[in-house]
Structure 1
Amino acid sequence: MGQLVGWIMANSAANRRRNGWVVSLLEIQPTDRVLEIGFGPGLAIADLAGLASQVHGIDHSAAMVRKATRRNSRAVRDGRVRLVHASVDRLPEFGGPLDVILAVNSAKFWEEPAARLRELRRLLRPSGRIALAIQPRCPGADGATTARAAQEHHDLLVEAGFTTIRVETLDLDPPVACLLAINPG
């Protein structure tokens, strides 16, 4: 089942567009150390590997770790990408502060999301950036559904201590909201 879901995710034009868009919003620098949470088939990981000095990824699905590792095999072999079967509530070590953290359509599944975000904030260097992208998938989801989800995620980011929060929107059906925030230090 995981392989089928991964194939669908990897071959969906909307998934490709959404992931590429989120990466473009992050303004990744060549020296950045990045973590993607819930990387699925590794679409954003592939984009990030060409931009950042080091890319870490965690996913709770062993099938997605295998798929993303195959997709990014050269960067994994070169040591630029490290993909781990792990959950956001049991994070591995990343060898120092991170510059950027992103999660595309995964934060809504986290238990105690404010606590998870506080923990992620501790992993970021001062002025480090986080991006949470949301595209609601419930029946009848529309722009209003996306706006409500964005507000919920905004409130969680504030509760976790992030600042300078802005929301960008990608016009898909339903729209995608990406919340970008800063770790004040």
Structure 2
Amino acid sequence: MFALRPSNRRRNIWAVSLLDVQPTDRVLEIGFGPGVAIAAFADRATRGQVFGVDHSQAMVRHAARRNAAAIRARRVHLAHASVERLPSFGDPLDAILAVNSVGFWPDPVERLRELRRLLRPAGRIALVSQPRCPGATRDTTVRAAQELQDMLTRAGFTHTRVATLDLDPPVACVLATNPTDVTS
């Protein structure tokens, strides 16, 4: 159902485009759902690695079917895991994406600090929010974006910026960078 909804597909493809993934990048999506963004990452990181974790075994199966060829080629790796118990990804990551999932994380600032340690210096993160509460408006999205920006800043990320996709309600993507100074 989520993969078929045009707004979900559009939101995920848009978020992937904002991360400017390069062919050799190593990327992670947290809460990948049906695997739409995973497939878009695999199309971009043609010589890299795409990792995904989702807490739902059903979503892992669905995303695995959608990305079967890339999994067979060992470019996509999906795991049934939660953000508080991430598997090892080996070398540092270049980019991380989380769409509509941060609100479900226990202690999100601490999770973001952990994710920051997984990123290479100057690595990128994108947190996406499309508020789904009854009566959500542009103002609801603006408030959600500000909350995400504040969390990223508290977790030590820098150069935050917000991009907005004009859907109903609007979608906010808060992008940030892992500082290049490793002592930060």
Q: TM-score scaled by structure 1?
A: 0.95
Q: Does residue 62 of structure 1 match 2:32?
A: no
Instruction: Find runs of 4+ consecutive structure 1 residues off by over 6 angstroms.
Output: none
1:147 to 142, 151, 168: 142
For 2:3 and 2:128, locate their aligned partners in 1 and report how far apart those are by CA, in whole Å: 17
Secondary structure at the residue paired with 1:50? helix
Q: Which residue of 2 aligns with 1:167?
A: 162
For 2:89 and 2:28, locate their aligned partners in 1 and report how far apart those are by CA, in whole Å: 9
1:41 to 29, 34, 41: 34
Q: Which residue of 2 aligns with 1:51?
A: 44
1:129 to 114, 121, 124: 124
Cα offset, 1:169, TM superposition: 0.2
Q: TM-score scaled by structure 2?
A: 0.96
Runs of 5+ unmatched residues, structure 1? 1-7
1:111 to 96, 106, 110: 106
1:20-65: CA deviations, max 9, x gaps? 1001111110110000000000000011001111100000000000
For 1:77 and 1:162, locate their aligned partners in 2 and report how far apart those are by CA, in whole Å: 34
Cα offset, 1:96, TM superposition: 1.1
Cα offset, 1:108, TM superposition: 1.2
For 1:129 and 1:86, locate their aligned partners in 2 and report how far apart those are by CA, in whole Å: 22
For 1:133 and 1:108, locate their aligned partners in 2 and report how far apart those are by CA, in whole Å: 11
Report the count of equivalent residues. Answer: 178
Runs of 5+ unmatched residues, structure 2? none
1:83-107: CA deviations, max 9, x gaps? 0000000010001100000001111
Letter in 2 for 1:113: P
For 1:17 and 1:108, locate their aligned partners in 2 and report how far apart those are by CA, in whole Å: 21
For 2:40 and 2:151, locate their aligned partners in 1 and report how far apart those are by CA, in whole Å: 27
Letter in 2 for 1:126: P
Map 1:90-101; keep pairs closer than 5 Å: 90-101=85-96
Secondary structure at the residue paired with 2:143? helix
For 2:103 and 2:44, locate their aligned partners in 1 and report how far apart those are by CA, in whole Å: 27
1:128-185: CA deviations, max 9, x gaps? 0000000000000000000111111110000000000000000000000000000003
Q: CA RMSD in A?
A: 0.5
For 1:169 and 1:153, locate their aligned partners in 2 and report how far apart those are by CA, in whole Å: 13
For 1:84 and 1:109, locate their aligned partners in 2 and report how far apart those are by CA, in whole Å: 18
2:11 to 9, 18, 36: 18
Q: Which residue of 2 aligns with 1:4?
A: none
